[in-house]
Structure 1
Amino acid sequence: MTEHTLIPAIGCWVSQLLPSGSGDRKGVVKKILRAETGAELEVNWLIPERFTSCVAASKVKSGFTNGMDVEDVTPGAGVSSLGIGSVMQQRVLASSEQVLVDFAESGERHWLPYQNLRQVRRAKLRFLNAQKAEPVDAERLRLRLLAHAIETWNENTGVLSHLDIDPLPHQIHLVHHILASGNYNWLIADDVGLGKTIETGMLLHALNQRGTAKRVLLVTPAGLTRQWQEELCRFDLDDFQIYGEDFNINEARHWKMHDRVIGSLDRFKQEGHLESLMQADEWDLIIFDEGHRLSRRQYGLKLTSSDRYDLAAALRSKTKHLLLLSATPHQGLHDKFIALLELLRPDRHQELMMLSLKPEILHDMIYRNHKADVTDAEGNFIFQGKITRAMRVPASAHSSAFDGTLQSYLRRGYAASAAQGRKGNPIGFVMTVYRKLAASSSAAIHNALRNRLARLVNERNEVFTALEPTDERFFGEWEEQLSTDAKEFFDGEIHLLETLIEEAASLKDNDLKLQLFVNDVIGKIQHSHPGEKVLIFTEYRTTQQYLREALNNRFGDTAVELINGSMKHSERREAIARFEDKGLFLISTEAGGEGINLQRHCHIVVNYDLPWNPMRLVQRIGRLYRYGQKLKVLVFNIHQTDTMDQQIIDLMYERIDSVVDDMAQVQKYEFNEGLKDEILGEVAELIDVEDILLAATQEGIDRTRERIDEALRQAQSAAAKQRELFAHAASGNPAELRHELVITQEHLQSFALGMFNQVGIEVIEQVLKDQLIRIRLPEAARPKIGMSLKASLRLDVTVHRELAVSRPGVQLLDLNSSLMKYLLREALSYDFGGHIAAFKHPSLGSGAVFGAMLRWQSQQGKRMRQEFVMSHVENGHTLLNSEVVGRWLLEPAIGLAFQSTPEQSKVIFACAESEINQRLESVSNRYLMPESLQWIAASWVV
């Protein structure tokens, strides 16, 4: 025998030719002995007769037979076992005897030298043979079951890993539903403020654990790339790089160095960048944030798509899995909505064309949670509601005079625009901008009119060529910086401008709106609650500076922070940090407020100007009115009542509120506030406010009232149809988890305490309502846990995330913890025991409890789903993951010395197996087919 010859491991089955030559004897290696002539084995021969003898290792062959359960025990430093599997086949290749082993846990098959395998006896065989149960195994069986349940629940939801969040039930359900579906092409359409970023992070983390999302491309609006990168770090996903900022691509092969990429939607759609992107390898998953920006419309037989949609369509060929995020995917535009779904599921084109007749197909394409439904883990609604107050500015002679002159200017401007046809469109646009500026503040319109007059007087040949932004949130900051034609829009414009500027200056000097804001709103808030933080929204930077100056004069130079679209992400983040630390007021424009979340430090928002699109108001309030807000949100809307435009806007908001109330009452919801916001968003998306205001200038207030009512009737009808459609989308449903073993912090703590006792870790004390556990580690455990020899043997640990965050030095026992990994490793090892046991339990009666791992695969054999179940058999009836079994897992188990008969065991096992097979069958669908069933542990209940 050469020094390279493998020696069978202890527990390996070997065979040797009988002396008579009539066959082989087979047995199990018990010891390995060294002799001068080579290695010898002490073998316990079992077939055909039982005896023990020593034999040279070179004289034996494989004794394994197909169907035997074996464990890979390949020796060597740094070599990890492939685990436990079943023998499928055997071969001899170049004098090497090899065994094909199916490892169900990993879904892999490998040819291995027979010498590196040892036989094991799994739970099913032990139970069917009625092997005697020892008392010590009851607690170890409970801990083994808990370990499997913990790992599987985390794989299916990601909630037990090192996340900087405490997920809500609706977020857990969403991730679980998508992972369990076996289909990763989804439109996540949760309401604003329900945490689509969190859900995406959880989903990516869970896919990362499965190893199914190595290459991920995340496409976002330009202003959110850095914020997404920071958010993903909360999910232990800190390897995402931003294209064009963290790295650039000079050659196509450089893409191989970047597996996790975030990129701007508008950058990627550009020809050079798109060409480079299309040269990258395929992605495991592509995600589009704010998917409603991918627009394709149908006009007759003609399809017109945006550059953004073309980008998504091109990238669709580079991935099997596409995820779209959008709170407003429909927007009353059915053809655009169908186009989005076609991106998701191009294979279901024909069904989507018939969507109105078969809306139930949305159930496996769209997941939608409603604000009106979501609760915390205790079942309490997470939104405390909001109070909205209209603050009306008193009428004034200055305001009325200015509005009268402005209306005259607008009528002449719109008339000049109409007279020039398409060439006059820029004039009409400027008129609309001036109306918005006037509705915002006296400072904003005064500044704009002065700029217009200077343009005309100085006769600078600057024309209206500004590039229009593609995102509505940037319109305001863009509009007030327009360059206009240096020629008069109409005869006498200069004279009228001079009058307007004089009246605007007078209005600014006697600004009742500003006085109401500073004295009656902000002043009273600070008087009743000194130091209260307030978020203030306006559409324009000029107004922003105007308010800043007024608040600084009243409350000091350090009281106010600004954020707007001209600032870099880092500058905005620093301004927000100063506001949350010591600031009183944060004044934001629409663009500045994109993506910010301030709910943990602020619950008051003031809208100094009201946006023309009511949905923008919902999104402003959504900066505070979202998950994590512990207080009722207070909203102050400032209304200028003595101008025509403001009267129309007030009328529009009043009418919309009435429609929303009517629609909300039809729904049978206990909590209607979130539902009203949702309907408001749907209705607001369907109204062309600018068209209505333009008509008001030409037709008067009465005709405008009729146009508003007609627009709302159409919007209400469209919104109602949209709601009917979305009723078929999947949503958070606790009943969906009725067959699941839901794991909580209680289970984690019970497992940790039980394992401490098993592996010799001393629990010194439990404090803070038993949530903080002080332990002392044995010296021998340090290297197994991965601790240095100098590390302290005393630790403070907890399974409660908030406690670990709030108390320095306390280690969190989540599934990223080295200590928790060690405990799970020990509990899941074969030699830990706990494969079968017997115990008494007052609530379980008599019968048996089984643990089993169910797995499903795609039609091409790729694992798509794994589920751990516990079945309880009593009097011939079987229940899966019953509540009483879940409670039993929380209590240390006291075992019995017990032995059943094989006949009794087979009857009980047949009941469990039948129910488990029904579960395997019921979950199977067009994406999933059964892969394997592995029995983990079995116990008699006596």
Structure 2
Amino acid sequence: MKKLLEGLLPCVGALVTDGSQHDGKKALGCITNRKIIDDGSARIQVQWLRPGQRETSWYEPAQLSNGLSIRQTVQHRPDSVVASTLGVGEVRDLRVLGGREQALVDFPEGGRLVWLPTPHLKAIHGVEHLVSRARPDRGGAEALRLRCLAYAIELWNENTGALSHLSIDPLPHQIHLVHRILRSGNLNWLIADDVGLGKTIEVGMLLSALVQRATFRRILIICPPGITQQWQDELRYKFDFDDFVVHGRDFEVNEPHQWKLYDRVIGSMDRFKQEAHLDSLLSAEPWDLVVFDEAHRLSRRQYGNKFDSSQRFDLAAKLRHRSDNFLLLSATPHQGMQDKFQALLELLRPDRKHDIRHLDLNPEILADMVIRNNKADVTDADGEFIFKGKTTHAVSVPVSDAARAFDTAMQSYLRRGYAAGQALGRKGNAIGFVMTVYRKLAASSVSAIHTALQRRLVRISAEMEASGPPTLLDYGDDALFDDSADERYVGELEEAFAGQSGQTFFAGERDALKTLIEQAESLLVGDQKLRVFIEQLVAIIDEHQSGTKILIFTEYRATQAYLQAALERRFGDNCVELIHGGQAHDERRAAIERFEDSAQFLVSTEAGGEGINLQRRCHVMVNYDLPWNPMRLVQRIGRLYRYGQKERVIVFNMHAPETIDAEVVGIMYERLAQVARDMATLGGEFRDGLEDDILGQMADLLELDIEQVIEQARGADITRSQARIDDALRKAREATERQAEMFSHVAGYDPSEIRDSLTIDKRHLLTFVESMLKHSRVEIVQRFHQGREWELQLSATVQQALPALRSRLRVTLDRDWAAQRPRVHMLDLTSPLMQHLVQRAKGLAFGGRAAGLSGLQGLGFFAGVLRWQNTQAQRMRQEFLAVQIGEDGRCRANTREVSDWLARPCEPAEVTANADQLKRMVHWAAEHADHRLSDGSNTDLHPENRQWLAAGWL
């Protein structure tokens, strides 16, 4: 009963009045004590705030009333020990409702405007009041510095995600990208960074920033089927998001209401596009953010006034109505198809459909929708280019007389097969498809074509024994693969498909197969390509640098098995790991871990061409066969030539130039590289990184039916094929230049955009942690490994606040060190200890809201937070503002001088101040803050509030 009565009494510190007047004004008092007496009634002790006297009296509650006034600064003080305070706010209005006095309080930090009972509001002096009267707060200048640092560190992380749980330090272009999106006021962007620049990291940083805003709770990530696990792993291990679940693997939804259980979901675009799963997904509650990875797979083409869209695009279009925020990721969004590119932009900004459909007339609108960074331009924090370049070597394989004879016989077989297919019209398409696959297998390895021919002979022989004389093949005209097939596994699917039918393609095929198989078997004994690969390539690499890890690519499983056996014969058992489409996600991940740990070779099919990152331990690649689609080669190289690679990437491309197929493919790659090299020469200066950027863009835009070119090369002068290739490259170059012109209007890394932000670096983290540990009586017992690791002895107070932590704790502020020492506690913004230190420094009890300062130029210093919201009143942006005020009223914001001042302990200072100057300083600071709020606003972003955190006189 006593506790209940206490809960109805005003809190200590609340302002009250007894209705009397003093000098024409209402007499105010401050509650200093409360008690319940024996008869169950209450008494309140009030100290009256009359000039020249501080008398204290006891009153019954009914004798007093609320003493708050409009614009009074107050602190919310709930009576319950488990209830959290709403913080510090400002009274906007007063009322009596149901006989109870209430105040409408604006809490700027929490973004809440609420009516509260006045007994639970303690009147305090605001920052402007303290500084205008030169009244120092507890803690002095050092407390002010740490208070400012706590907010600055927290807001820098919120605006960039750069201090969240990461296994690597984010790069400037990644920090800028996140900052650019958040300060734009809308989240509808296409991130079109080059392959290997860390788009997953950028999204993780953005999510880390967004989830700190309570309004961004439900997040859906949709990606190709092969990389759902990778997304989950990246978010879990690099950003500490352990609650993202994969649809179809971690959970299923049988009833629409079950979607309420899952707020952070990863799903396959090819699973969600299926009718049953799509209907289920559309029944879920709206999503706060939807992310589409590899968005170029969302295809919609325009033919006249009609549109032809894929199921994947339809999935995105329907989801667009279930979320206000869409984020698309694609390194190749244009692909030489303006209508397809514009369709992606319309998904982003349906409100700007008219502008997008006239994109050629106003390409500058791309700066509000597309962000693109190129490998050739990105640097580390010191301004050094992060990509060390790439060297490509062509490895020619000598062709023996026996190999030429086999090639001639193989070409004869292929011609007869193509002719049989053409004779059947559309129904013979499958025969032509099989012939093309055999050509690719023959170019890959003699083992691959030998295996395929053997399998075909077995199937034909079995069919003949079962059904008598052979019949000509009639596959029908059904599509061979639907659009749900994962592009990375096409080679393996081709390989499997080519051996399925036992029906005869043409008369005499069985005898032709026997002859070819015999010739292939003889070639296997002294396989020239394998000999060059093992003895003249791998062995020499290993001799120069023993144990060098080598990534080897091939399109086909038969070649993969062949290489595994050869490498293990030469270099020992367990030296090879495999990646292929038949593996489950866990098997693939385990193979990569073994390769990075102990194995020397990783032989991968195209299943490893996307979605795996091997740059940490490997920089040498061998393409045992060359894909006929050059974009596949670019994607292969992207497994090594990406963010985090510390070495120059070395690529070896193997080919046999004396065979027709290999010669045409070789010409294509040679011409492609030459054009990219020419385009990369700017003003006579060759830029190595730019060449790789252009090579990737041209490969993406190259419209060349290499199969048709090779077919036409048979029996004809090879120069005709060269002419076809040169013509296609000319068109690709023109398309690349047009695309480059269009992309010149998109947003990119511009250091000047964040020049007026206070940048937080390791110096600030280090001084903040060291100083706050001292304030919290946490002892740094010992420093290890040149100071990269500390051993702490937590104080009893900290242990009580953080019972999950051990009393003795090893910590680090170094991300690289934390990655090597998983048992060491990383002090980033996800750390409970770091969060405790930040919240303590921000607390009212810590002090530091006003002080005399030294070490800065000018009349005064103000630190605060500016906030903006969107049209739905969602907070979109917060900015830390540190203002130096000159004697002439001129203000300088977030200067390098302030950054350096915050990075070192502040000595106590006794500074006298002129009262009139201080009042003008308050006015000038407010004017400057309002100007910045105005300058930072746009059609999507509107001022929400400003909050002064601390101020000092100099």
TM-score category, normalised to shorter length: over 0.9
Query: Please, which moves more after superposition, 626-635 or 408-417?
Result: 408-417
Quote the Cα distance in structure 1 between the aligned partners of 2:393 and 2:542: 17
Quote the Cα distance in structure 1 between the aligned partners of 2:922 and 2:207: 38
Aligned to 2:470: none
Aligned to 1:31: 33
Quote the Cα distance in structure 1 between the aligned partners of 2:322 and 2:568: 53
1:719 aligns with 2:736: yes
Give the conservation status (yes or no) of the 8 Å contact 1:463–1:484: no
Aligned to 2:496: 481
Secondary structure, aligned partner of 1:855? strand
1:872 aligns with 2:887: no
Give the conservation status (yes or no) of the 8 Å contact 1:71–1:120: yes
Deviation string 1:470-507 (CA, Å, 9 cap, x unpaired) is 33321110111115654443444334333322222222
Aligned to 1:937: 950
Aligned to 2:401: 397
1:651 to 657, 663, 667: 667
Q: Would you say how many aligned residue pairs link Structure 1 and Structure 2?
A: 935
Distance 1:436 1:57, change over 3 A: same
1:44 aligns with 2:47: yes
2:617 to 601, 605, 609: 601
Secondary structure, aligned partner of 1:82? coil
Aligned to 2:96: 92
Deviation string 1:780-815 (CA, Å, 9 cap, x unpaired) is 332134457xx43x4443322223343465432222
2:517 to 484, 491, 501: 501
Query: Please, which moves more after superposition, 570-579 or 411-420?
Result: 411-420
**How many Å apart are 1:252 and its aligned residue?**
1.3
Give, as a single letter, the amino acid of the residue that structure 1 aligns with 2:610: E
Secondary structure, aligned partner of 1:919? helix
1:327 aligns with 2:331: yes
Aligned to 1:759: 776
Q: Which runs of structure 2 are paired with 1:247-326 in the superposition (5 Å)?
A: 247-326=251-330
Aligned to 2:361: 357
Give the conservation status (yes or no) of the 8 Å contact 1:44–1:50: no
Secondary structure, aligned partner of 1:246? coil
**How many Å apart are 1:394 and its aligned residue?**
1.1
Distance 1:32 1:656, change over 3 A: same
1:827 to 829, 841, 851: 841
Query: Please, which moves more after superposition, 511-520 or 9-18?
Result: 9-18
**How many Å apart are 1:537 and its aligned residue?**
0.5
1:926 aligns with 2:939: yes
Give, as a single letter, the amino acid of the residue that structure 2 aligns with 1:623: R
**How many Å apart are 1:930 and its aligned residue?**
0.7
1:10 aligns with 2:18: no
Give, as a single letter, the amino acid of the residue that structure 2 aligns with 1:202: M
Quote the Cα distance in structure 1 between the aligned partners of 2:595 and 2:804: 41
**How many Å apart are 1:24 and its aligned residue?**
4.5
Aligned to 1:706: 723
Quote the Cα distance in structure 2 between the aligned partners of 1:19 and 1:344: 63
Give the conservation status (yes or no) of the 8 Å contact 1:328–1:682: no
1:150 aligns with 2:153: yes
Distance 1:601 1:663, change over 3 A: same
**How large is the RMSD of aligned CA atoms in angstroms?**
2.4
Secondary structure, aligned partner of 2:42? strand
**How many Å apart are 1:667 and its aligned residue?**
7.9
Secondary structure, aligned partner of 1:17? coil
1:743 aligns with 2:747: no
Quote the Cα distance in structure 2 between the aligned partners of 1:637 and 1:314: 44
Give, as a single letter, the amino acid of the residue that structure 1 aligns with 2:908: G
Give the conservation status (yes or no) of the 8 Å contact 1:857–1:931: yes
Distance 1:226 1:747, change over 3 A: same
Secondary structure, aligned partner of 1:44? strand
Deviation string 1:442-495 (CA, Å, 9 cap, x unpaired) is 111122222333333333688657545633321110111115654443444334
How does the TM-score come out when normalised to structure 1? Answer: 0.95
Q: Which runs of structure 2 are paired with 1:416-495 in the superposition (5 Å)?
A: 416-459=420-463, 464=475, 467-468=481-482, 470-482=485-497, 483=499, 486-495=502-511
Give, as a single letter, the amino acid of the residue that structure 2 aligns with 1:386: K
2:201 to 195, 198, 202: 198
Give, as a single letter, the amino acid of the residue that structure 1 aligns with 2:601: F
1:661 aligns with 2:677: yes
Give, as a single letter, the amino acid of the residue that structure 1 aligns with 2:148: L
**How many Å apart are 1:61 and its aligned residue?**
0.9
1:845 aligns with 2:849: no
Quote the Cα distance in structure 1 between the aligned partners of 2:429 and 2:347: 35
Q: Which runs of structure 2 are paired with 1:560-709 in the superposition (5 Å)?
A: 560-666=576-682, 671-688=687-704, 689-697=706-714, 699-709=716-726
Quote the Cα distance in structure 1 between the aligned partners of 2:282 and 2:34: 59
**How many Å apart are 1:741 and its aligned residue?**
0.8
1:62 aligns with 2:66: yes
Aligned to 1:728: 745
Secondary structure, aligned partner of 2:5? coil
Give the conservation status (yes or no) of the 8 Å contact 1:132–1:898: no
**How many Å apart are 1:680 and its aligned residue?**
3.2
Aligned to 1:379: 383
Secondary structure, aligned partner of 2:417? helix
Secondary structure, aligned partner of 2:383? coil
Distance 1:164 1:19, change over 3 A: closer
Q: Runs of 5+ in structure 1 lacking a partner?
A: none
Quote the Cα distance in structure 1 between the aligned partners of 2:610 and 2:702: 22
Distance 1:618 1:60, change over 3 A: same
**How many Å apart are 1:108 and its aligned residue?**
0.6
**How many Å apart are 1:396 and its aligned residue?**
1.1
Distance 1:22 1:376, change over 3 A: closer
Deviation string 1:596-649 (CA, Å, 9 cap, x unpaired) is 111111111111001111111111111111112212212111111110111111
Secondary structure, aligned partner of 1:209? coil
Quote the Cα distance in structure 1 between the aligned partners of 2:533 and 2:406: 20
Give the conservation status (yes or no) of the 8 Å contact 1:371–1:675: no
Give, as a single letter, the amino acid of the residue that structure 1 aligns with 2:220: L
Query: Please, which moves more after superposition, 209-218 or 67-76?
Result: 209-218
1:409 aligns with 2:413: yes
Q: Runs of 5+ in structure 2 lacking a partner?
A: 468-472
Give, as a single letter, the amino acid of the residue that structure 2 aligns with 1:910: H
Q: Which runs of structure 2 are paired with 1:789-868 in the superposition (5 Å)?
A: 791-792=806-807, 794-807=808-821, 810-841=824-855, 844-868=856-880
1:882 aligns with 2:911: no
**How many Å apart are 1:422 and its aligned residue?**
2.0
Quote the Cα distance in structure 1 between the aligned partners of 2:399 and 2:96: 98
Secondary structure, aligned partner of 1:680? helix
Aligned to 2:228: 225
Q: Which runs of structure 2 are paired with 1:106-185 in the superposition (5 Å)?
A: 106-128=110-132, 130-133=133-136, 136-185=139-188
Distance 1:724 1:669, change over 3 A: farther
Give the conservation status (yes or no) of the 8 Å contact 2:609–2:635: no
Give, as a single letter, the amino acid of the residue that structure 1 aligns with 2:900: R
Secondary structure, aligned partner of 2:496? coil
Seq. identity, %: 48
Give, as a single letter, the amino acid of the residue that structure 1 aligns with 2:876: M
Distance 1:267 1:777, change over 3 A: closer
Quote the Cα distance in structure 1 between the aligned partners of 2:677 and 2:178: 32
Secondary structure, aligned partner of 2:714? helix
